[in-house]
Amino acid sequence: MIGEHLYAGIDPMALILSGKAYLIWVEIHHPHVPKVSELQEAVRAMTAEEQKAALSRAKTMAAYGKVVEEAIATMKK
């Protein structure tokens, strides 16, 4: 079934603010460094299947990040 476990969110502030103003708002309200304790609270609310899927997506994102880091690090300047 398509979309059964697919969740997407749109920050309504992104529809109201634009450019630099939105980035400032995000930085104030959503710091870039997640806290393990806060994440654990959210993960506890997930089923075992949802936790497994989240971990899989996180690992995939980390792998893509490593490729980007390597591509940039090995570029000839």
Percent of the chain surpassing pLDDT 70: 87
Q: Does one domain contain both 52 and 77?
A: yes
SS3 content of the chain, % helix, strand, coil (to 5): 65, 0, 35
Same-domain status, 19 and 39? yes
CA distance linking residue 60 with residue 54, whole number of Å: 10
Q: What residue numbers bound the domain in which 57 lies?
A: 48-77
- Does residue 3 form part of some domain? no
> How many domains does the chain fold into?
2
* Residue 5 maps to a domain: no
Cα gap 50→72, rounded to integer Å: 33
- pLDDT tens, 38-69? 889 889 999 999 999 999 999 999 999 999 99
